[in-house]
Structure 1
Amino acid sequence: MKNKVTNSDVFQLMEKWAPKQLAYDWDNVGLQIGSYHNPVTKVLISLDVMENVVDEAIEKGANLIIAHHPFLFKALKQVNIETPQGRVIQKLLENHISVYATHTNLDIAVGGVNDMLADALGIEKNDIIVETDREKLYKIVVYVPETHIDEVRESLGSSGAGHIGNYSHCTFQTKGQGTFKPLEGSQPFIGTENELEFVDEVKIETIIPKSILHQVISSLITAHPYEEVAYDVFPLANEGKRYGIGRIGTLKNKMDLNSFCEHVKKVLDVPALRVTGDLNKKVKKVAVLGGSGEKYIHHAKQKGADVYITGDMTFHVAQDAWQMGLAVIDAGHYIEKIMKQFTAAHLKEHLDKENIDILVSESNTDPFQFV
């Protein structure tokens, strides 16, 4: 981190956790309003960006709002400050508050919204419900003089290369001899202009996921002693990390559906919920998908779920689930508010040495109330 933290620095932290390329193509994630270069002193974490949230940010002096739901989702055709959206845009710009959205990428990311929900509910041995992406892998090969093996190898490992399963800094090394002739105008680390040089070198090979390829190469070039670094990058057929929407796993102990509903209400702070199925039915395998998840009922059933927790379930889809023997708990879209505390904790952990306040929004953005 630089001495003065900017929006860009915070965005990079978020995107290391929830890369933007994980988001669905219809989604709008990343910077919504503001600038990448504005300095950050106080961040407000919110599920949504509504006028009460912006008023809270103004009152608390926050100059960056990180939200789960994108504020700008459909294309703007006008900014009329007499409309709710226009007033919000005006307040954000007048008070120099930037807005950043991390939506379906945070749903899909490891440790993201669906993992937060599964962990909170005590769902163990998690798997994804629907695979959306597999990370592409590359092999990088670099030639290093024997005097600098440790420095270059460490730069590769510390920047994220060489991770295989639960192991880091995985490389393979082969000794050999490199040749080169420094031409006129060069500034060789080893050798003399216009004379062929022979150097004992080591070939270091390691594996890199596509998402960090450029930062690993940058770190490699910084650590390497040569003026011109010789390296190769090869695409691999190996399958990388799986990413997907929703989570499914098992409860430690079976319980009847009615008791599980009470558990869901307590853990997710839901005053009421809708449920289909036999309330006396024993449930063990549980699927969860934050937000609107009705189109994934068949996937949850195929994965063997006894009960599926999501939001925005419509009448006929609920009937379909009921008829196929899948219990459904519609706990509402607002259960995604769980992301506020976890996102704040994530940023605090990575910005603990910076003079930045990370706040959790106290504004209610749930449009529904129970009477």
Structure 2
Amino acid sequence: MKINDVIKYLDKRFPIELASEFDYPRVGFNIGNVNNQLTKVMLSLDLTKEVVLEALKMGCNLIITHHSYLFDPLYKIDFSLNRGEIIGLLYENEVSVYSMHTNYDVGVGGVNDSLAKMLNIKNIKIINNEIKANNFLRYGNIKPISFKNLINEVKKTFNLTGVRAVGKLDDIVKTIGIVGGSGGHKEDLENALTSEIDCYITGEIPLNIAIDAQNANLKLIEVNHGVEKFAFDYLKIDLEIDLKLQEKVFITTINTDPLITI
């Protein structure tokens, strides 16, 4: 099997047409040689030197990331600096990198579908029932629970030391929605309100959005951006089954999200 066989599979499942406009030049095959024979695959939220070294140790020559390493243009490559050093390691060891970002967020079985499953949302819904670019929200019913207990369940599910929240802790929550990553934009809040959920879970919520949610009686739970990494648990299984890559797909043990709540 060649690296290109894995890429074709991912391109079909999470086509670039599902990516947000800003993502178009960034998603897809980033670095390497698609014609090389595949050895093993490493899955990682981000690409860091530690992730590359782990991939080399495990014998992987394809790294699949959620966040593109080449998100911002590179005008100079200095192998003595971090970003250049990583590129040098990839080149010297013929390791390829493939990234899928917002197309993976919205695609069937992607980030937000996976996170919704982890939260035990029943009959997961999508606005207008349409898989398309920028349609990130997944929402639906859960077993009725107090907001305080829901917060604790979210922390436990995503292995978080803490979260930020908006809402009365004793209120009962029956419907929730989630957007992995950065879902604190005005349009995200509008989608959450349109879906008529009791609680919206996402990352990177600014103060003005929190105030607007409070005024609209919408509860919020702010989680780390890095909870997106849990979607790889599902992708690993899919790759192993669909491409017969048993014992050849690994999820990095490196935590690439440096932010913690104390």
User: Is the structural similarity TM-score above 0.5?
Assistant: yes
Shift of the 267–75 alpha-carbon distance from structure 1 to 2, 3 Å rule, reads same
Q: Which of residues 9, 15, 21 in structure 2 aligns to 1:19? A: 15
Q: Which of residues 172, 186, 194 in structure 2 aligns to 1:282? A: 172
CA distance in 2, matches of 1:133, 1:280: 35
- Is 2:179 aligned against 1:293? no
Superposition pairs for residues 114-129 of structure 1, below 5 Å? 114-129=112-127
Report the secondary structure of 2:227's partner residue: helix
Give the Å deviation of 1:62. 0.9
Encode CA deviations 1:193-212: one digit per residue, 9 max, x unaligned: xxxxxxxxxxxxxxxxxxxx
Superposition pairs for residues 209-228 of structure 1, below 5 Å? none
Higher fraction of helix: 2
Superposition pairs for residues 220-299 of structure 1, below 5 Å? 244-251=135-142, 253-295=143-185, 296-299=188-191
Give the Å deviation of 1:133. 5.8
Q: Counterpart of 1:101 in structure 2: which amino acid?
A: S
Q: Which of residues 192, 205, 209 in structure 2 aligns to 1:313? A: 205
Encode CA deviations 1:152-199: one digit per residue, 9 max, x unaligned: xxxxxxxxxxxxxxxxxxxxxxxxxxxxxxxxxxxxxxxxxxxxxxxx
Report the structure number with the largest CA radius of gyration: 1
Shift of the 291–243 alpha-carbon distance from structure 1 to 2, 3 Å rule, reads closer
* Paired position in structure 2 for 1:366: 257
Shift of the 34–131 alpha-carbon distance from structure 1 to 2, 3 Å rule, reads farther
Q: Counterpart of 1:301 in structure 2: which amino acid?
A: L
Q: Show structure 1 runs of 4+ deviating over 4 A.
A: 129-134
Question: Conserved in 1, the CA contact under 8 Å of 2:50 and 2:254?
Answer: yes
Report the secondary structure of 1:245's partner residue: coil
Encode CA deviations 1:53-108: one digit per residue, 9 max, x unaligned: 11111221210001111111122211122321111111111111100001111111
Question: Conserved in 1, the CA contact under 8 Å of 2:125 and 2:139?
Answer: yes
In structure 1, the gaps of 5 or more residues are 135-241
TM-score, with length taken from structure 1? 0.67
Higher fraction of strand: 1
In structure 2, the gaps of 5 or more residues are none
Q: Which of residues 301, 307, 322 in structure 1 aligns to 2:214? A: 322
Superposition pairs for residues 179-198 of structure 1, below 5 Å? none
CA distance in 2, matches of 1:279, 1:130: 31
Q: Which of residues 42, 56, 59 in structure 1 aligns to 2:54? A: 56
Shift of the 309–244 alpha-carbon distance from structure 1 to 2, 3 Å rule, reads same
Report the secondary structure of 1:250's partner residue: strand
Question: Conserved in 2, the CA contact under 8 Å of 1:288 and 1:309?
Answer: yes
Q: Counterpart of 2:135 in structure 1: which amino acid?
A: G
Q: Counterpart of 2:43 in structure 1: which amino acid?
A: I
CA distance in 1, matches of 2:7, 2:136: 22
Give the Å deviation of 1:129. 4.2
Moved more, 292-301 or 313-322: 313-322
Aligned length: 258
* Paired position in structure 2 for 1:66: 64
Question: Conserved in 2, the CA contact under 8 Å of 1:68 and 1:339?
Answer: no
CA distance in 1, matches of 2:158, 2:18: 25
Percent identity for Structure 1 against Structure 2: 35
Encode CA deviations 1:245-293: one digit per residue, 9 max, x unaligned: 1201111x21110000111111122221111111111111101000000
CA distance in 1, matches of 2:19, 2:9: 16
* Paired position in structure 2 for 1:113: 111
Report the secondary structure of 2:63's partner residue: strand
CA distance in 2, matches of 1:299, 1:42: 39
TM-score, with length taken from structure 2? 0.93
* Paired position in structure 1 for 2:235: 343
CA distance in 2, matches of 1:284, 1:50: 39
